[in-house]
Structure 1
Amino acid sequence: MLAIGRALMSRPKLLLLDEPSLGLAPLIVQDIMQTISRLCGDGLSVLLVEQNARAALEISHYGYVLEMGSFFVQGTADVLRSDERLVATYLGNEKPTRN
């Protein structure tokens, strides 16, 4: 959160984020993703690099999935979330549970 806040101080037009959820507890990941989503809603463009594909696709408009350094699949978040190959490979078949 501090790194995001620091980056926002310069009033960027594009915010680049590399693995903002790395090593964080699930509840903190939710907070980070909600913050990113709010920033997008406020008109800020965000380029998010994230291994947590499920969390990233929940807040994204468009996504690119890389495999071995090459594009595996790309498309709108809705299309990617419903792509059977992507679900089987990266998302799993289970929906996340909320406590």
Structure 2
Amino acid sequence: MSRHHEKWRNGEGKRQRARLERTLPAPCCRCGLPVRSGDEWEADHLVSLVGWPEHQPYPDHLIKPAHKSCNRRAGGKDGAKITNNRRRAKSDATKGIRPW
């Protein structure tokens, strides 16, 4: 579990989701279609938590409702981008080097 997720063990995530749920129906921050209280939805971070200072609280105005599928799709793309960049860096480092 990342250091960012550890702080949610105190229930702050549930409180934040409850605050967001009171704003529904609201547009999905990913696709723009309405998110309703009966839909499968998640609290989406508009700015990635990667690199966010641990001691600095994540502001509520940067958390918006998103359909579960929209949020997962976006997270998958972010994860793939990180993985692909690592692979490229590794492959570029060994390019042109002859194994003796």
Q: TM-score, normalised on structure 1?
A: 0.29
| Bigger share in strand | 1
Work out which structure has the larger RCO, using CA pairs closer than 8 Å and 6 or more positions apart in sequence.
2
Q: Which has the larger radius of gyration?
A: 2
